[in-house]
Amino acid sequence: MDLTHDLLPTIPLLRSLDASSLKRIADTIRPQILKAGEALFRKGDDGNEMYIIESGTIKIVLPSSEGDEVILTVLRAPEFFGTMSMFDGKTRSADAVAVSDSRLLVLKRSDFIHVLQEDEEALQTLLCDLSSMVRKTDDLVEDLCFFPIKNRLARRLLELCEYAAKESPDGSITLDLSFKQRELAKMVGATRESVNRVLKKFEDDGIIEMENGKVTTVFEREALEALCENIDF
């Protein structure tokens, strides 16, 4: 793949750059391969690089001292991450772990800052990305504090429908990125047993279909949307 012409122009942060700027970045960027389950960095690590996902899936995880964790977000190509530490010079605020075999492109801080200095639109894109991260964190806190598990789970399944699925002519949605129930539990701040009970109820009601304990198909998207709108305590 030609980075200058094929991949880099599709990255929201870089798509406004001209050909010469893209070539300069392509010359300095380096690839990094991760196996499924491998950590790219851990909370507290130094943060001198940002990452662009060329292929695969990365989860951003907030760990606890007791060994538990909450999955803050799941990212896929051509999304980017690791920018927060590039700005404030502080250590990583969360873990980044490969969900599947992944190939990343690594951009050093000096090259990253040069992009922002050269292109105002790139800076605006980055600020929007950082704002989105804050909003996702706000949503997660709101979910954990106020919403029952079924509503939290409905919201996460809708998110998967948005960016990790294919819609059929009959309206059913096939998820091409499925998580074990333990992973879904970490996304909604619940136990696996609680998530299992809710998913079984969703399946009995004809909202979803599961295979080997994983959600594979969403039949009634509207039902999930209704759960997000009507909070029943």
Instruction: Kindly report, residue by residue over 62-80, the tens digit of the pLDDT.
Output: 887 777 788 888 898 888 8
Question: Among candidates 175, 164, 161, 154, which has minimal Cα distance to 224?
Answer: 154
Phi/psi of residue 15, each to 5°? -65, -15
**Residue 230 in this model has a pLDDT that exceeds 60:** no
pTM of the complete model: 0.74
Topology of domain 148-229 in CATH is Arc Repressor Mutant, subunit A (1.10.10)
Instruction: Give the whole-angstrom CA distance, residue 195 versus residue 181.
Output: 7
At residue 68, the pLDDT reads 77
- As a whole number, mean pLDDT of residues 207-229 equals 89
- Say whether pLDDT at 51 is over 50: yes
- Name the pLDDT band for 31 (thresholds 50, 70, 90): very high
User: Which regions of the chain carry the CATH code 1.10.10.10?
Assistant: 148-229
Looking at the structure, give the CATH architecture of the domain made up of residues 3-144: Sandwich (2.60)
Higher confidence at residue 12 or residue 166?
166
Q: Which is more confidently placed, 141 or 52?
A: 52
**Torsion angle, alpha carbons of 84, 113, 104, 134, to 10:** 20
Q: Greatest CA span in the chain, whole angstroms? A: 56
Task: Report pLDDT digits (tens) over 105-150.
Answer: 998 888 877 777 777 777 777 677 677 767 766 666 665 556 788 9
In DSSP notation, 209-229 reads EEETTEEEEES-HHHHHHHHH
Phi, psi of 212 (to 5 degrees): 55, 40
* pLDDT attached to residue 159: 85
In the structure, what pLDDT confidence band is assigned to residue 19 with cuts at 50, 70 and 90?
confident
pLDDT tens for 176-209 read 777 889 888 988 888 899 999 999 999 999 999 9
β partners of residue 220: none
CB 227 within 8 A of CB 154: yes
Question: In this structure, what DSSP letter does residue 5 have?
Answer: I
Which one has a higher pLDDT value, 13 or 42? 42
Where would I find the beta strands (DSSP E) of the chain?
Answer: 30-34, 39-41, 49-55, 57-63, 69-76, 80-81, 95-98, 102-108, 165-167, 173-175, 208-211, 214-218
- Per-residue pLDDT at 202: 94
Residue carrying the six token digits 């998207």: 221
List every span in the chain annotated with CATH 2.60.120.10.
3-144
CB within 8 Å of 79: residues ≥ 6 apart: 52, 53
Nearest residue to 57 (alpha-carbon basis) of 154, 212, 175, 199: 175
